[in-house]
Structure 1
């Protein structure tokens, strides 16, 4: 499992904090991320606070980070 650039391992998850120009842009990103998660049937933990979004990919059923989480983290970067 590789950690995509810009991501870090934190407490058994791949985590990245993103900052957007506005609240509306942050929400639009979360909407795109929700579409990705639904299509992959794998869902991250998402925290939204004004212009800041924290995304955490982990496989709870596998007890931590898997290759799938790494792949979806990289795909998340494509949505920014």
Structure 2
């Protein structure tokens, strides 16, 4: 089972973030492009051939995020979109953040051949 096959679990707060060693292991499972930024959030920059594709990607990932009840921050510009994910209630990372990141990667697949 890949990370993308897991269901995000809503966080109501009061839980600790995943330990740093577990976060690094999950980051390795995500693969290329993802990093943990200085705020302790997951982030990845996706590139596209134009603005319309970047916007289509945001809409696809947004629909997945809404269905999962777990919402990333998007930074949309011409030919690119940065996705930043963390669990806002705890201001840290949970396993669900990595699941959503993998789901974003899955949504990017149809764009990959066009963007490359």
Q: TM-score, normalised by structure 1?
A: 0.95
Aligned residue pairs, count: 80
Structure 1 runs of 4+ off > 2 angstroms?
none
1:15-58 superposed Cα distances (whole Å, 9 cap, x missing partner): 00011011110000000011011001110010001111000010
For 1:19 and 1:27, how far apart are their aligned partners in 2?
11
Q: Any unmatched runs of 5+ in structure 1?
A: none
Q: How does 1:47-62 map to 2 (within 5 A)?
A: 47-62=75-90
Q: TM-score, normalised by structure 2?
A: 0.66
Q: Any unmatched runs of 5+ in structure 2?
A: 1-22, 109-116
Q: Which has the larger radius of gyration?
A: 2
* Structure with greater proportional strand content: 1
Deviation at 1:14, TM superposition (A): 0.5
Superposition CA RMSD, Å:
0.8
